Structures are given as structure tokens and as C-alpha cells.
Structure 1
């Protein structure tokens, strides 16, 4: 990738500057407990590169009370770190930035919010307690990250959908009257969002919507996939697979009545990683044996922060590749594979935001950016680049990235069925379902890819007893080693 490409892409974005665009930055405060290059404290924050910074997370109880999840970190009492006060004090460096707090997140589950939303009196209590917390510390607003209404461990099932709107109405009434913002973070893919949200009425009651357009692929898929692709890939065949990209998400939310200027596109500052089944087969869609090995910066299998990815590329541990259809990079080192975002892919996403008149960009999350400049492009290069393009307050600089390596010549199999985003697959059911092939029903012998005995060009991708019939590209045959191959390499 030539440096001029990114420069041109960003200049194109800058032409369409809108003062109303937003650059929303979430901060996961628990990064303060990490070591080395993973450690991120409130002093590492640059408040001048975000229009909104969100302190994550606070908690809630079924009675509508609001709690601190880590009072030692959050407060100054009893010799605590006092991060909330220090966070709000950053306003002196950037008076126009909005400093907000969030309640929720994946680890909080769904049940507690399902119960709060189901009762008018508890909704009112919760809203008042949120307002009290905002006023006590000087936050400018509240981001509600319920993951997700009518899903997971919900207490009231499908009733959550209407109850969520009622809760947002109560929150909006109370917060707006006191000059506070209300935003939400949401599941985005049609299959999930349709269960959780009455989109037109949700949109009416919030200032903007943080679309979690990431975790669209991960190790739960069983094959490699990009964390946050801009467009569908050539191997996305089923209707569900075609939902797993930013373009499809935006089109769905707009079709459901969400205003363009309230949609904030989520951009991950991390990659989802995989362990390849065959290190010589490393295309998007290659079979994987599970999550990638935990890195040194964040000790979590299947997850690599951007700063560690760029560091590994810089030092030759990973080679960078470019998937042109989906406008995203991926990196490979031995049997380790990671799909992520860098300056080039974010430039495409910034252009997409501008071209479609969307509200802006949201980053999850700032503590996994290159905040210490270990890769040589300055501190927070990706967020700064986005801010310069969307807000236009400073001159756009040309980021420095690594040119893509030549792609491998082998062909990966078609992507198989994926699980619900952000959820690792559970134990497969014991019952067996089959699809009908020309030779009759195919019974899955287990999870994985299996040769179609009736057709050399196709294969079965089995998960949970369900056999998905899929095809190699024309002229290729399925190799039982787990990929599509040239006929000269494998005699079917």
C-alpha cells in the first residue's frame, strides 16, 4: 500500500468536513491493572483528539441503584486512585470535549437491566440515580450499554424490546432537562438488532447511537475472519454472512428509520486472533483450530491490541496482508492470524462515514491504541487521523504503514456458519440435522469441514450437527486437509 493512497483517502474525507461529526472514545479503565506496554492510566489520555470520551463502566442493581464497580480506582476515598475526578479534570485541557460515563458492558449481562426496564417506578429510580451520579462528578452525559435487550440472560424476554424504549424515554426526559446527553451502545447485525430494538423509537430518545460494528468475526467461527469488515467478502454466501459487515449494518439501521446523523460507526482498536489449522493456508476463511495465543500486552486468548499488532509487524513477527473486497488488513505469523484495523482501513471507513453523511466514528477502546508511540507513527495515530479528517481542526498528516505482503496462492474454503457476534460457541447439541446432497442426506461426523462424496468442487461445513453445503471457486477442488486446492495438487 502506497503512503499516497491513505493521504488521498483522508484528503477526500476532509473535503466533506462537518462540525457536527463526532469522534467518540471509550476508555476501559481496567487497563490500569495491566503491565508494561498494556498499562494505561488516566494520565495517558489525550482529550483533544475525541469529541466525547466515555468512562467505562459503572454498575447498576435491580432496585435501580447505580454503583461503582471498582471504588478504589474510581474514587479518592481511603487512598483510592480517584480516576473519576482526574478524568473530569481533563476538561481543562479540552473544554469542548464531552466527558461521559457508561453503565453496562458484556460482563454485566442482561438480567439486571431487563428487571429495571420492566417497572415504571424502578425506571424512574434508575434515571434519577444516573442523573445524581452525573451531577456528583460533573459528567456531561450517560452512555447505556445494555448487552442486549431480549437476549442472553434476560428476565422478561421479548418484552425487553418495548421496555427498553420506555426506559430510554424516562432517562431522556430526566437527563435532557438537566442538560445531560444520553447515548447508547448497541448490537448491530440485523439478526440480533431485530430482536432487541424498536429502532425508530429508540433513536427518538437518544442523542446518538454507538454502533458496535466489530466482533463480526472471531475464533467462534471456526475459520478466520475480519473483526470489522467494511463490506461483505467473496465467501459470504448465506444471508446471515452477508449481514456481517459495516455497510450491511448501516443499510439495515437506515432502512429501519434511524437518522443518519445519529449513527456512529464503531471502529475496533484491536484484532480478533486465530490459530490456523494449517499455517500454509492463511486466507480469510481459512480453517482455524481455535483462538489465537494471548499476546504480551493484553493476556487474553483470541484478542490482540492494535499497539501489539503494529509492534509485531514492525519487528517482523507478523506479515501484513490486505483484503481488498472488504477493505481491511490481516496479519499472519506462523500459525497465528489476526484480523484488525489500521490507518488504511480506517481511512476507508472515514470516507464511508462522510460519503453517507453519518454521525461520526466511535473507538473501542483508547487503551489499545498505540498510545506510547512504540510503532513510530506518533501517539494515538489512528484516533488523531480520524479526528483530523472528521473534525478538521488540524492539518491531515500522512500515516506511515507497512506495505502489504504478497497474498498466498492457496485458496481458502468458503466461510462457514458463524455464531452470534461476541459469543463463543457452546457445546454442540447431541441431535443431528442433515442437509440433502445429490447423493442423499449427509450426516456430520463431527464439527469441521468434510469432503462431499458426490461433488469434488464442494464440501460440508459442519457445526452442531448441521451440514452446510459450500463450494470452492470454479476450477478448484476440495482438499480434505481443509482448503480448496488446484486439481493438480489433489486428485479427487
Structure 2
């Protein structure tokens, strides 16, 4: 017979899905706080297209040496998570590295309220590449672990968020302050957080999720106690991007679905997923794969191309806003400078400069649709997106408004439709080989049986909206030239 606590936790997990329409799979988008300042604060709680996501992961908060957690950018963190700061509050409040006081804010335009009004969850991610150096010391000390878990609970109470995401890059990685004991201490840290969240669930009356982001290299996976960690996490977020970049002597794909013709063994999404499932027994339905809403540019020694010699430096002249690592909207804005190519082995697009010795690896609607199909075929939980701002295209006629989100739209429609299959892009492009492909080609399968937690049906209103979007996208021919006022 189920214990009262276990039954309560099961109800907390399923009730929200019965009352709110959700995407057909888990779609979690990272929202880095520093991106709020980009393009005149184009992407903000009032402009986000919430219907594209099930969860927004706010990134990042910083682990402190003593186990406490600190805001990374107090002004942005308090404003975005709690709402506009009241005008009579001292200026020093926005600089103090505390979690803030909800009573000093107008929450009507906060990320949390806006998201919750749309049935979307918000969690806070702690760590990140530049703020992971304290994790090893925290995880190794029981008192620091307890303080860290208490800080997680404090954030949930103050901000009203729905859980915590841990982005430790990476356990056992000596270069970033790690040690061999991290493998076991990471488990202790997650267990302490999970126990603390379990106790808090009875107070707040809802399920509180715990997720973590993981590196996909075999050496990184070997530093995790997967059998134990899997039981503690709601989802395992695989960072299936940054496979290749500036550190390699030849050009290759940033986030290939399958192994390209040349490259390192295991450096692709499919290999990472199956290594995790087959080597460590992680169930498919706990895994989210990573989608890159950005690309990587590389200067080449000769004519640009795939698998050619690289100068191991990005093209910061063509993509100055992103220091040569362009967001998708900037790739679209400069499409006339490149020729489009598709790698049928890797199931990934790439660009070759017209008169530029520049190679660009990135994701487009077609590759996103292929990965959506892969999620369905492999019965994965869903996807994480880095990051939510990457495909937000600003309206030409209404500056300050997000006109479209082509990659997120492609993902949503591909995951949720039943009868549309991937179009033959080569045929569509037959007479225009140098253009980027027609936008929004989708792929799904009829035999899609989502997990119980994702079986909530779309409302009639949402179905009509999705149907209109599908019809609109089906009528679109060549990709329009995207306008961006943020240069």
C-alpha cells in the first residue's frame, strides 16, 4: 500500500498536467539573465512566447564558498523574478546580493507570474561554466550541502519558482576546481537537495522539481553515479552541443544528431544518448537532449567548407555582436553572405561564405525537426534549449516586439502534430541551391505514446491556435529575410 507521503508526491506531479495545456514533450528553455539587456531588452517577461515551452530555466545563480547561493546580477535577478522594483525603494537594494523582498516589487510583470499564468513552470539554475568552481568544496562538506539545500528552499519560497536546476561543469573536472571524490559527493549533494525539497513540498502544496545539466563526453559521464543520481532527478539535461568549435584544427558540426563523416567517435547526440542508456542504464524518459539556438563561426585557411582546415578562430568581423558565436537571429540576418548546405549523415546544416573564408555550424528548422522526431522515436523526455533568446526575431514594423520564434515553432509543431512528415528539402531547393532552405519542415510519427505526465490534452483554443500556425507555416515558401534592430 502506498504511503501517504508517496501518494501526495504522485498527486503533486500529475495534477498540474490535468489543469494546464502543456507542450507534447518537455521543452525547457534557459533564460540567461544577461541576455535581458540585449537588443533593448527585447526578450523579457512581457514578450516571451510562453506557449512554446513547458519550463523556463532562469540562469544563473552563483554557489558561494560556504554553501550559500548568491544572485549573479542582483538588479536583473530581482526585477525579472519578482517584478519591477517600487520607485521609493533605496537604490542600494538593487545592488545587494540577497534574494530580495517580494513586497518591494510589482509582480504583475515578473517572469514567474507571467509564466504561471500561461501554465509554464520556472526553475532557477545554479552554477554554469564560469560559476562551477565552488561546487566541489560544497559537495564535500555536509554542513555546506545543508546550507546549499536551504538556500534552494529559500529561493523557492521567495520567488515562487517550481524547482532547482544544478549546472555543475563538471564533477571531477580538475581544471574547474574539481576532484576525484566529486563523483560520490555530487550524489550526496543531490540527495541533500532532494530531501530538502521533499520536506518543502508539503508546505507549498506542489511538486518541486530537481534537474541537472550534464556534459556528454564519455570522460564526463564516467564521473557520475548514474544509478543513484537518476533516482534523485526529475530530468537529466544532456548538453548535446559544443561538440566541435574553435579548439579543433578542422571544421565540424556544433551539434550533430548523428556522427558526421569525419570527427571524433561519440561526438554526436545519438551516441551520447545511447551511451547513457546502454552503458549506465538511464531510462530514456528521463533524458532531455540539448538544442543549440546559436551557431559557431570559424575562419578557414582556404575556401570555407565542412572538414577543412580551420584557423581555430571565430569570425568576429561578420558576427561582432556575438564575438563570432552567432545567435540564430543573427545568422538569419546575414544569410545572403553564405551558401547553405545540408549534411545528410549528421542531419545538420552548415554555411559556406560567399567570398568569405568563413564556415558556420548551427541548427535550423529542419535539423530541429529531425531532433524532434528523434525524441519521439527514442521516447525521450524532451529537450532543453540554450538559449531562449536565440531565435527571437524582432518585428520590423513593431520594434520591441518578438515577431516570430522559428526554431521553437518548428520544435513545438514537430513534437505535437501527428500526420505531417519531413518534406524533401533537396527537392524544394532544386532550383535555388544557394538559398537557405524553406522554413519549417516538420517530422513526427503516428505511433507517439507520451508518458503519463505528458498526456494532458490541448484545449480547444490551443488546438485551433496550433492548427492556424500549421496552416500558416505550410503556406510559407522561401524563408523571408529577417529584420533585427539590435545591431
Same fold (TM over 0.5): yes
Give the structure-1-normalised TM-score.
0.71
Q: Please name the residue that 1:321 is paired with.
A: 341
Listed as ranges, the matches of 1:266-285 within 5 Å are 266-279=290-303, 282-285=304-307
Say which SS state the counterpart of residue 330 (structure 1) adopts: strand
Report the structure, 1 or 2, having the larger helix content.
2
Q: Deviations over 1:213-249 (max 9, x none)?
A: 000010110211111001111223xxxx111000100
1:244 aligns with 2:262: no
User: How far apart are 1:262 and its partner, in Å?
Assistant: 0.7
Structure 2 runs not aligned, ≥5 long: 1-21, 79-84, 96-104, 202-206, 435-487
1:108 aligns with 2:108: no
Say which SS state the counterpart of residue 129 (structure 1) adopts: helix
1:62 aligns with 2:65: yes
Report the structure, 1 or 2, having the larger strand content.
1
User: How far apart are 1:290 and its partner, in Å?
Assistant: 2.3
User: How far apart are 1:31 and its partner, in Å?
Assistant: 1.4
Say which SS state the counterpart of residue 332 (structure 1) adopts: strand
Q: Please name the residue that 2:471 is paired with.
A: none
Question: Is the deviation greater in 99-108 or in 297-306?
Answer: 297-306
Q: Please name the residue that 2:214 is paired with.
A: 186
C-alpha distance in 2 between matches for 1:348 and 1:342 = 10
1:74 aligns with 2:80: no
Say which SS state the counterpart of residue 273 (structure 1) adopts: strand
User: How far apart are 1:198 and its partner, in Å?
Assistant: 1.5
Q: Is the 8 A contact 2:236 2:286 kept in 1?
A: yes
Say which SS state the counterpart of residue 350 (structure 2) adopts: strand
User: How far apart are 1:394 and its partner, in Å?
Assistant: 13
Q: Is the 8 A contact 1:127 1:171 kept in 2?
A: yes
Q: Please name the residue that 1:388 is paired with.
A: 413
Say which SS state the counterpart of residue 217 (structure 1) adopts: coil
User: How far apart are 1:403 and its partner, in Å?
Assistant: 3.8
Say which SS state the counterpart of residue 291 (structure 1) adopts: coil
Q: Aligned to 1:98, which of 94, 109, 121?
A: 121
Asked which structure has the greater CA Rg, the reply is: 1
Q: Please name the residue that 2:284 is paired with.
A: 260
Say which SS state the counterpart of residue 118 (structure 2) adopts: coil
Q: Please name the residue that 1:440 is paired with.
A: none
C-alpha distance in 1 between matches for 2:112 and 2:312 = 41
Q: Deviations over 1:429-458 (max 9, x none)?
A: xxxxxxxxxxxxxxxxxxxxxxxxxxxxxx
C-alpha distance in 1 between matches for 2:266 and 2:368 = 20
User: How far apart are 1:385 and its partner, in Å?
Assistant: 2.1
C-alpha distance in 2 between matches for 1:301 and 1:383 = 24
Say which SS state the counterpart of residue 363 (structure 2) adopts: coil
1:25 aligns with 2:29: yes
Q: Please name the residue that 1:470 is paired with.
A: none
Say which SS state the counterpart of residue 411 (structure 2) adopts: helix
User: How far apart are 1:264 and its partner, in Å?
Assistant: 0.2
User: How far apart are 1:62 and its partner, in Å?
Assistant: 1.5
Q: Please name the residue that 2:12 is paired with.
A: none
C-alpha distance in 1 between matches for 2:296 and 2:377 = 28
Question: Is the deviation greater in 366-375 or in 397-406?
Answer: 397-406
Say which SS state the counterpart of residue 274 (structure 1) adopts: strand
Q: Is the 8 A contact 2:23 2:412 kept in 1?
A: no
Q: Is the 8 A contact 1:218 1:302 kept in 2?
A: no
Say which SS state the counterpart of residue 265 (structure 2) adopts: helix
Q: Please name the residue that 1:45 is paired with.
A: 48
User: How far apart are 1:65 and its partner, in Å?
Assistant: 0.8
Q: Deviations over 1:233-288 (max 9, x none)?
A: 1223xxxx111000100110101111111100100000111001102xx3321111
Q: Aligned to 1:357, which of 379, 385, 407?
A: 379
Q: Please name the residue that 2:393 is paired with.
A: 371
C-alpha distance in 2 between matches for 1:181 and 1:396 = 34
Q: Please name the residue that 1:330 is paired with.
A: 350
Say which SS state the counterpart of residue 312 (structure 2) adopts: strand
Say which SS state the counterpart of residue 43 (structure 1) adopts: coil
CA RMSD of aligned residues (A): 3.1
User: How far apart are 1:122 and its partner, in Å?
Assistant: 1.2
Q: Is the 8 A contact 2:319 2:325 kept in 1?
A: no
Say which SS state the counterpart of residue 326 (structure 2) adopts: strand
Say which SS state the counterpart of residue 123 (structure 2) adopts: strand
Q: Is the 8 A contact 1:298 1:305 kept in 2?
A: no
Q: Please name the residue that 2:444 is paired with.
A: none
Q: Deviations over 1:31-55 (max 9, x none)?
A: 123346x953333312221001011
Question: Is the deviation greater in 74-83 or in 259-268?
Answer: 74-83
Structure 1 runs not aligned, ≥5 long: 1-17, 408-492
Q: Please name the residue that 2:191 is paired with.
A: 169
- The 3 A distance-change label for structure 1 pair 394 and 126 is farther
C-alpha distance in 2 between matches for 1:295 and 1:44 = 30
Q: Is the 8 A contact 2:170 2:178 kept in 1?
A: no
C-alpha distance in 2 between matches for 1:119 and 1:184 = 20
C-alpha distance in 2 between matches for 1:221 and 1:150 = 23
Q: Deviations over 1:343-364 (max 9, x none)?
A: 1111111111100101101110
- The 3 A distance-change label for structure 1 pair 217 and 182 is same
Q: Please name the residue that 2:247 is paired with.
A: 220
User: How far apart are 1:149 and its partner, in Å?
Assistant: 0.6
